[in-house]
Amino acid sequence: MISEWRSYAIEDFIPFTADVYLRLIERVNSGQWPLQLPMLIVGLAVIVLLGRKRKLSAGALLAAAWVWVGTAFLIQRYAQLTWVADYWGWAFCAQAIVLCAFAFGSKSDFRFRKPFPISDCLGLAIALYGLVAYPLLTAFAGSGWAQSESFGIHPDPTAIATLGILILFSRGWQLWIQSLIPLSWCVFSALTLSVLETSGFYILVSGIALFLVSMVWVSVSPFFERAQAQSELDSQGL
């Protein structure tokens, strides 16, 4: 049985070719144009609203983007090519509930601090990578604007931008739980793109790598900060 499982490769689970996937991106773009622009504003608004302590509004907007991508892209379109997309579509809707629940229940009181700590810089960088850089990079790497991928329209930039936003305003176990679905999607999608051998693979993996570095940083930096504070207290003889 083990040897039988070893005979499977990732490609055995990807039942379509690269041209079909790129056409899917293209068709969703043309079908939803000009929604890409309001969605970009929604993404930027989420960051601004969080900076102004309006967690509920920010959470609701972000959740709406996840529901839209889950239904309009994954369930209605992508699921025609692979049944797994149907489940992912529901996972995206579940993520919307998770985001709303944490926005409603979270006690964290995020605000932008000056000077920007490294973790905030990383979070903002990832969020802007998903919101602004992603459409540009996928347009340049693919066949122009028709195949560019945008936040709130396509799942990859939506997940990456969300991971950046989570690095900005969430910490500890809450960060891990809220990151679970977006990160799992990114890994799934990266595996798909690696089989299809599209340039989008490198763009997505860069986003994932940036997020993982940030996760490590936000996990270990409090220990360093505490140790530094302790040593300062010690040096003052307190």
**Between 86 and 101, whose beta carbon lies closer to another protein?**
86
**Between 27 and 111, whose beta carbon lies closer to another protein?**
27
Q: Are 120 and 164 in contact (CB under 8 A)?
A: no
Phi and psi angles of residue 233, each rounded to the nearest 5 degrees, phi first: -65, -40
**Between 78 and 129, whose beta carbon lies closer to another protein?**
78
Residues in touch with another protein (CB under 8 A): 4, 7-9, 11-12, 14-17, 19-20, 23-24, 27, 77, 80-82
CA distance linking residue 51 with residue 28, whole number of Å: 32
Q: In sequence order, what are the residues at sequence separation of 6 or more whose Cβ sits closer than 8 angstroms to the Cβ of residue 211? A: 126, 160, 163, 164, 167, 179, 183, 186
| Distance of closest approach, residue 154 Cβ to another protein, in angstroms | 16
| Distance of closest approach, residue 28 Cβ to another protein, in angstroms | 11
**Between 28 and 210, whose beta carbon lies closer to another protein?**
28
Which one-letter amino acid corresponds to residue 212?
L
**Between 15 and 38, whose beta carbon lies closer to another protein?**
15
| Distance of closest approach, residue 37 Cβ to another protein, in angstroms | 25
Query: Concatenated DSSP letters for 180-199?
Result: HHHHHHHHHHHHHHHHHT-T
| Distance of closest approach, residue 11 Cβ to another protein, in angstroms | 6
| Distance of closest approach, residue 188 Cβ to another protein, in angstroms | 17
CA distance linking residue 202 with residue 194, whole number of Å: 9
Q: Which two tokens stand for residue 175?
A: 């960060």
Q: Which two tokens stand for residue 110?
A: 């995020």
